[in-house]
């Protein structure tokens, strides 16, 4: 059985157990009531999104230094999975914000940073779409990913500052031990799911690269035309 499928399966299993626990077994939170149960999917998604971003950053640097196309395939996977997670994160955040703060979006620095990075990743994926030469595509994606990754802490910091005069709310920072188990289960569940997704997506990217690199490069045809 393919390793990627194994990870996905394991992830799903853990998520089912963890979510059941978080939904029906774990106690209600003191102030936020049952709505707080959203945390059991929101926090694991957030943690794993960060991992996906770091992974993409690593692949980008690895490609620029090693020039090995396998890093580009991994980068493509990391970017796409990261984008999916970022989108999910923004939606979950909005769903949590509405009953607790009364608005869908409250410019929370973490969520806002995620939204900005979501757009940045969409831009890089769009860029990849428009570049035909696989090597150029790889170099440019890596450069753009590095630039966007370096930006992440700067965006977070600046939004936090920008928002600090208006926001008095605080999100629960400390999680009491009664909530640990479902959180941990789901965190690993999403992690395995993500690893599986990245493995499978890398394979798709690598297969496409194989096809592209096997075709005769267009340039030779062009030059022949010019000479003739």
Partner 1 sequence: MLAAALRKELLLQWRGRGQLMAVFVFGAAALLLFSFAIGPNSEALRMFSGGFLWLGLLLSSTLTLAESFHAEMENRALEGLLLLPASPRALYYGKAIANWLQLTILGVALVPVMVVLYDAGTTELLKLLAVILLGTAGLSAPGTLYAAMTAQLKAKQTLLPLLLFPLIVPALLASVKATSFVITGDPMGQLKSWILLLIAFDLIYWSLCGVLYGRVIED
Partner 2 sequence: MNGVVTGGWQYVWLAYGLTATVFVVYAASLFVRLREKRHD
- The reply on whether position 64 binds partner 1 by CB under 8 A is yes
**Alpha-carbon distance 228 to 220, whole Å?**
12
**Binding test (CB under 8 A) with partner 1, winner from 75, 155, 199, 209:** 155
By a kind-dependent CB cut-off of 5 to 8 A, residue 140 interacts, out of partner 2, partner 1, none, with partner 1
- In 3D space, the residue among 126, 136, 128 whose CA is nearest the CA of residue 219 turns out to be 136
- The reply on whether position 220 binds partner 1 by CB under 8 A is no
**Alpha-carbon distance 207 to 196, whole Å?**
17
Residues 120-149 that bind partner 1 (CB under 8 A): 120, 122-124, 126-127, 130-131, 139-140, 142-144, 146-148
Helix (H) or strand (E) holding 63: helix 39-66
Q: How far is the CB of 169 from partner 2 (least distance, A)?
A: 8
Share of the chain residues as helix, strand and coil, in percent rounded to the nearest 5: 85, 0, 15
What phi-psi label fits residue 102: left (phi over 0), alpha (psi between -120 and 50 degrees) or beta? left
By a kind-dependent CB cut-off of 5 to 8 A, residue 159 interacts, out of partner 2, partner 1, none, with partner 1
Where along the sequence are the contacts to partner 2 (CB under 8 A)? Answer: 8, 15, 19, 23, 30-35, 37-38, 41-42, 45, 84, 87-88, 91-92, 95-96, 98-101, 169, 193, 197, 200-201, 203-204, 207-208, 211
């Amino acid at each position: 059985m393919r390793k990627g499928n194994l990870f996905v399966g394991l992830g799903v299993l853990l998520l089912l157990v963890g979510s059941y626990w978080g939904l029906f077994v774990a106690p209600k939170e003191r102030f936020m009531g049952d709505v707080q149960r959203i945390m059991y999917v929101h926090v694991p998604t957030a943690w794993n999104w960060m991992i996906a971003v770091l992974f993409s950053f690593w692949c980008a640097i690895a490609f620029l230094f090693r020039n090995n196309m396998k890093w580009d395939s991994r980068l493509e996977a990391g970017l796409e999975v990261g984008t999916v997670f970022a989108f999910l994160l923004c939606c979950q955040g909005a769903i949590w914000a509405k009953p607790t703060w009364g608005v869908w979006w409250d410019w929370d620095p973490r969520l806002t940073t995620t939204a900005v990075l979501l757009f940045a990743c969409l831009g890089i994926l769009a860029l990849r779409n428009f570049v035909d030469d696989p090597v150029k595509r790889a170099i440019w994606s890596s450069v753009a990913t590095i630039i966007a990754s370096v930006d992440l802490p700067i965006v977070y910091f600046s939004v936090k500052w920008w928002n600090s005069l208006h926001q008095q709310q605080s999100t629960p920072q400390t999680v009491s031990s009664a909530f640990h188990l479902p959180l941990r289960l789901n965190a690993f569940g999403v992690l395995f799911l993500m690893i599986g997704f990245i493995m499978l997506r890398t394979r798709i990217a690598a297969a496409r690269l194989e096809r592209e690199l096997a075709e005769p490069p267009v340039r030779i045809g062009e030059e022949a035309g010019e000479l003739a």
